[in-house]
């Protein structure tokens, strides 16, 4: 399916609409609801997804939207939008200014077509279309001892925590710096823009956490794979290693 030229502008509009909800919501009580010990939701998650769906439905009423806060539309639709209305909910709920809106569009059961990550507090929008021109450029860091990488875990399973502890120690031994930022989508945008060199995330993510980020990182010249170097299937739970490309094999090796 040729990419509709309106897709990327609509994705940006939807992300900005959700971002306005989140920005305005900073002045309201967060009304946290716990899905589990490590997984929370606020009123803003749902309100921001409603804003996204309204923009997409107005432009493309036949498309499907899959989001962290629910799914709308026909599964047989030609296009599917994969959205996270608030990536970094725990940061948001605690007043930590590192969260974003993530909007991606995919040919249903096919390739990702476009991605947008929007930081509403800084009014910074990272956007790219697969195969199109991009102002994004990953870093040129070539060795892990000079690299700043990120990781994280949102999982209360003891085995996942044990595996994470081993990876975290290995990263600290190999890299110049390791950060736990709490918003995978915004972190991937930072990798695409050359601010962070890589990311290692396992036992923690869903498709809506990474879909837009994959488009951005690849547009910036970086690489996203699973832990065996395989292509990432944007469906259900996903494990990812993200890098500027130069560091990818080294991150794969140190993350096992």
What are the backbone angles phi and psi of residue 105, rounded to the nearest 5°? -130, 140
Give the three-class secondary structure for 207.
helix
pLDDT for residue 173: 98
Domains, the chain, ordered by start:
7-129 (3.30.540.10), 144-254 (3.40.190.80)
Tens of pLDDT, residues 4-28: 889 999 999 999 999 999 999 887 6
pLDDT for residue 39: 67
Q: What is the largest CA-CA distance in the chain?
A: 50
Identify the burial level of 199 via C-beta atoms within 10 angstroms of its C-beta, where 0-12 means exposed, 13-18 middle and 19 or more buried: buried
Is 90 exceeded by the pLDDT of residue 103? yes
pLDDT for residue 185: 98
Give the three-class secondary structure for 184.
helix
pLDDT for residue 177: 98
Tens of pLDDT, residues 42-61: 889 999 999 999 999 999 99
pLDDT for residue 38: 58
Is 60 exceeded by the pLDDT of residue 149? yes
Mean per-residue pLDDT over the chain, rounded: 93
Higher-pLDDT residue of 246, 76: 246
pLDDT for residue 43: 85
Residue range 181-197: mean pLDDT, rounded: 98
pLDDT for residue 174: 98
Residue range 75-104: mean pLDDT, rounded: 95
Question: d(Cα 24, Cα 19) in Å, to the nearest integer?
Answer: 8
Residue range 55-79: mean pLDDT, rounded: 93
Angle between helices 207-219 and 184-192 (to 10 degrees): 0
Is 80 exceeded by the pLDDT of residue 101? yes
Of the chain, the percentage scoring pLDDT greater than 90 comes to 80
Is 90 exceeded by the pLDDT of residue 155? no
* CA distances from residue 221 to 9, 46, 205, 237 in whole angstroms, order as listed: 22, 33, 22, 24
Is 90 exceeded by the pLDDT of residue 148? yes
């Amino acid at each position: 399916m040729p990419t509709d030229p309106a897709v990327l502008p609509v994705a940006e509009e939807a992300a900005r609409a959700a971002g306005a909800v989140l920005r305005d919501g900073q002045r309201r009580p967060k009304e946290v609801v716990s899905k589990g010990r490590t997984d929370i939701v606020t009123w803003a998650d749902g309100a921001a997804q409603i804003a996204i769906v309204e923009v997409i439905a107005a432009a493309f009423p036949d498309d499907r939207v899959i989001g962290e806060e629910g799914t709308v539309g026909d599964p047989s639709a030609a296009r599917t939008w994969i959205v996270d209305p608030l990536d970094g909910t725990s940061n948001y709920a605690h007043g930590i200014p590192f969260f974003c809106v993530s909007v991606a569009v995919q040919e249903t059961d096919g390739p990702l077509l476009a991605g947008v990550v929007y930081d509403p507090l800084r009014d910074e929008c990272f956007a790219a279309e697969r195969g199109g021109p991009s102002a994004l450029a990953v870093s040129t860091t070539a060795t892990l001892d000079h690299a700043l990488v990120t990781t994280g875990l949102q999982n209360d399973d003891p085995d996942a925590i044990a595996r994470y502890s081993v990876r975290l120690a290995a990263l600290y031994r190999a890299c110049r710096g390791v950060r736990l930022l709490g918003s995978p989508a915004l972190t991937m945008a930072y990798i695409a823009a050359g601010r962070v060199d890589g990311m290692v995330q396992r036992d923690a993510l869903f498709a809506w956490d990474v879909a837009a980020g994959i488009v951005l990182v690849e547009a910036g010249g970086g690489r996203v794979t699973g832990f065996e170097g395989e292509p990432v299937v944007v469906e259900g739970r996903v494990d990812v290693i993200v890098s500027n490309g130069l560091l990818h094999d080294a991150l794969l090796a140190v993350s096992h």
